[in-house]
Amino acid sequence: MSAPAQAPKTMDQLQAALRLKDKSKAEALIKAHPVKEAFRKYMNRCLSADSTKRELPDWKKVDEYLLDKRMSLPTRGAGTMVKEIVTKECMDKAYDPLPHASMFALRIMTFLKSEEGEAYDISLEGHTVWHHREVQFDRCKRIMNLLGFLVNQNREMKRNRELQRDRQIREKMKKNNWL
């Protein structure tokens, strides 16, 4: 699963994208247990070797998907939770990135609404009156920036591990005169 080109690649870019006061806040956010756990679950399903070539869904698609699930008949009529519907769809569509990115977004939204997470939920300044949908749009965009950053970090870490492994293999081959 590859992150979009505009996804933050550095901690400074992440801090700016999430509107956090300083870099230490961004570092604390990615170290927060709920964020690490949400990404671990996403990573287990979506960052396998085959799926790294696919793009992350755009934040607008994720927001539209979640709105559609909130407005669906099972949610409104039967009182089913959105999280339950998305979880089922994640199981049914194991290789579709949209439900998995949406599940990551739901987990992070839950965290941002918690006492621990509210310090990281910084919406646009200068807007004194926000409609609920605008708050949701903004939050979803920031969450997808976070996911894009984490995907970029994961890919970089994998790339560095592979380079290190290749270096070690070459050194062993030279040492044993295989080259």
What tens-digit pLDDT sequence spans the chain (179 residues)? 555 567 899 999 999 999 999 999 999 999 999 999 999 999 888 876 555 556 889 999 999 999 999 888 776 666 678 899 999 999 998 888 999 999 999 999 999 999 999 999 887 665 555 677 788 888 999 999 999 999 999 989 989 999 999 888 888 888 887 75
Largest CA distance in the chain: 71
pLDDT at position 128, please?
A: 55
pLDDT at position 2, please?
A: 53
User: Is residue 127 in some structural domain?
Assistant: yes
> What's the Rg (C-alpha) of the chain?
19
User: Is residue 166 in some structural domain?
Assistant: no
How many domains, in total, are found in the chain?
A: 1
User: Is residue 48 in some structural domain?
Assistant: yes
> In angstroms, rounded to a whole number, what is the distance separating the alpha carbons of residues 53 and 60?
20
> In angstroms, rounded to a whole number, what is the distance separating the alpha carbons of residues 87 and 102?
10
pLDDT at position 100, please?
A: 94
pLDDT at position 50, please?
A: 54
User: Is residue 129 in some structural domain?
Assistant: yes
User: Is residue 81 in some structural domain?
Assistant: yes
SS3 call for 81: coil
Q: What is the DSSP letter of 56?
A: P
User: Is residue 15 in some structural domain?
Assistant: yes
What is the reported pTM? Answer: 0.83
Tokens of 93: 């569509």
Tokens of 14: 């992440």
Domain housing 93: 11-153
pLDDT at position 107, please?
A: 96
User: Is residue 44 in some structural domain?
Assistant: yes
User: Is residue 6 in some structural domain?
Assistant: no
Return the closest-CA partner of residue 86 out of 75, 71, 102, 74: 102
pLDDT at position 18, please?
A: 92
